[in-house]
A and B are shown apart, each in its own frame.
Chain A
Amino acid sequence: MRSDRADELEARLRRDAAQLAARYPAQTPRPIPGRGDRPRSFHSVRPLVLATATLLIIIAARWLPSGNESDVPAQRTLADASDQTVAIGDGPNDFAEAAASLAPADHGAVGAAFAPADASQWESPVFLLEVSDPELEALLDLWETDRTEPTRLSI
């Protein structure tokens, strides 16, 4: 009896395996590479990848301008501009005029500054503001027109 049950179980296993295989036949596999055409693992190409990446970084560092080397001057703090003429305005609308009056010590350092409206604080540290590219272009144009005589603006 027990042997019959064991045989039945084994027969059922064989039959179910055959049924599964018949229900889901093997698909044609994707091309298998031959011995002379084996895929290269990442480990085998890693030195090449690393060398290429290093080369690209070197090229990028050599040819891409950094912020300090670009034609557009980097924004400076007032401490940087302590020996320069600093223009003071009282709001965003005075950006162009204020910046036009700046006389940077080196090439083309241009900034826009404004002080609080309170006149008593005009000589106090002023705030250097960020300007957008179009605004900066406009400021540079203004500065170029009269770079020899920067104007100290007042409100």
Chain B
Amino acid sequence: MNRDRLKNRVDVQQLVDQHLDRIHRAALVLCGNPWDAEDLVQETFLLAARKIDGFRGDSAPYTWLYGILLNVERRHRRRHGTWRRKLDTLYQRYDPRSQSVPSADRAVQVAEWKESLWSQVARLPDAQRQTLVLRFSEGLQYEEIAQVLSVPLGTVKSRIHHGLSRLRQQLQADGEASILPAEFIEDLSYAV
């Protein structure tokens, strides 16, 4: 679909209607919790609305949206890491007895995330993590992933290979029999 056709036929709301579910699923798998996923989706479509004139139509709209989502998520993750470090600093100075108790809903959500294999993927480096999401959650072809990430095809294959290898090593290190043993403690800093 070229740019003119996109301009003529696809407005922003149509973009949302057509691609909301897949963008939301990718956001959910990337960040691991529904509340952050909603924010990522909203920000992704807002940016798409602002930048739609810059969309060249060289690729499918959903690959363009995935590209925006990954940038938004990377920024979100970096910002969250900064907050997390600040909170950790505050926590060390704070009386732990005055902590608030997490809600039951949130505890359930965190537990579900811990049981998901994607919580293990969240520990991988950004490049591998994003590639695995696009491949195994979103089902994109290698060529489409290369377009989204703006990397050569070989790089995509390499990231998938190394990402899966590293994921397997993590699982082995924590007990492969149950894949995700109960006592496994992963980096939940992004989910909590």
Residues of chain A at the chain B interface (Cβ within 8 Å): 5-6, 9-10, 12-14, 16-17, 19-21, 23-27, 29-30, 32-35, 38-39
CA–CA, A32 and B13, complex, Å: 7
Cβ contact of A23, chosen from B38, B46, B112, cutoff 8 A: B112
Set of chain A residues within 8 Å of B21, measured between Cβ atoms: 21, 25-26
Ordered by A's residue number, 16 sampled pairs between the chains whose C-beta atoms are within 8 Å are A9-B168, A13-B136, A14-B139, A16-B117, A20-B113, A21-B21, A21-B28, A21-B29, A23-B112, A24-B37, A26-B24, A29-B45, A32-B46, A33-B49, A34-B13, A38-B49
Q: How far is the CA of A21 from the CA of B41 in the complex (A)?
A: 13
- Docked-complex contact B25 and A17, CB < 8 angstroms: yes
Determine the chain B residues whose CB is within 8 A of the CB of A10 once the complex forms.
Answer: 136, 164
Task: Name which of A6, A17, A33, A34 has the most chain B CB atoms within 10 A of its CB.
Answer: A17
Bound-state CA distance A27–B118 (Å) is 21
Chain A residue nearest to B38 (CB atoms) is: A27
* Chain B residue at minimum C-beta to C-beta distance from A39: B46
For B67, list chain A residues within 8 Å (CB): none
The reply to whether B42 and A20 contact each other, CB–CB distance below 8 Å, is: no
Interface majority SS on B: helix, strand, loop or mixed? helix
Residue interface bits B83-117, CB-to-A below 8 A is 1, else 0: 00000000000000000000000000000110011
Tell whether, in the assembled complex, residue B136 and residue A14 are in contact, meaning their CB atoms are under 8 Å apart: yes
Q: Is B132 an interface residue (CB 8 A)?
A: yes
CA distance A35 to B13 in the complex (A): 10
Q: Which B residues are in CB contact (< 8 Å) with A5?
A: 168
- How far, in angstroms, from A48 to B83 measured CA to CA in the complex? 32
Residues of A within 8 A of B12 (CB): 32-35
In chain B, residues 51-109, which have Cβ atoms closer than 8 Å to a Cβ of chain A? 52-53
Q: How many residues of B contact A (CB 8 A)?
A: 37
- Mark B17-43 against chain A: 1 for CB-CB distance below 8 A, else 0: 000110111001100001001100110
Give which listed residue, A13, A19, A33, contacts B132 with CB less than 8 A.
A13
**With the chains together, A38 CA to B52 CA distance in Å?**
11
Residue contact B167 to A30, C-beta cutoff 8 Å: no
Residue B16 lies at the interface, judged by CB distance under 8 Å to chain A: yes
A71 CB, min distance to chain B CBs, angstroms? 51
Please measure, in the bound complex, the distance between the C-alpha atom of A19 and the C-alpha atom of B113, giving whole angstroms: 11
Please state if B49 and A34 are interface contacts (CB–CB under 8 Å).
yes
Extra 12 A-B pairs, beta carbons < 8 Å, given A14-B137, A26-B25: A13-B136, A13-B137, A20-B112, A20-B113, A21-B28, A24-B34, A25-B24, A27-B38, A29-B42, A30-B42, A32-B13, A32-B49
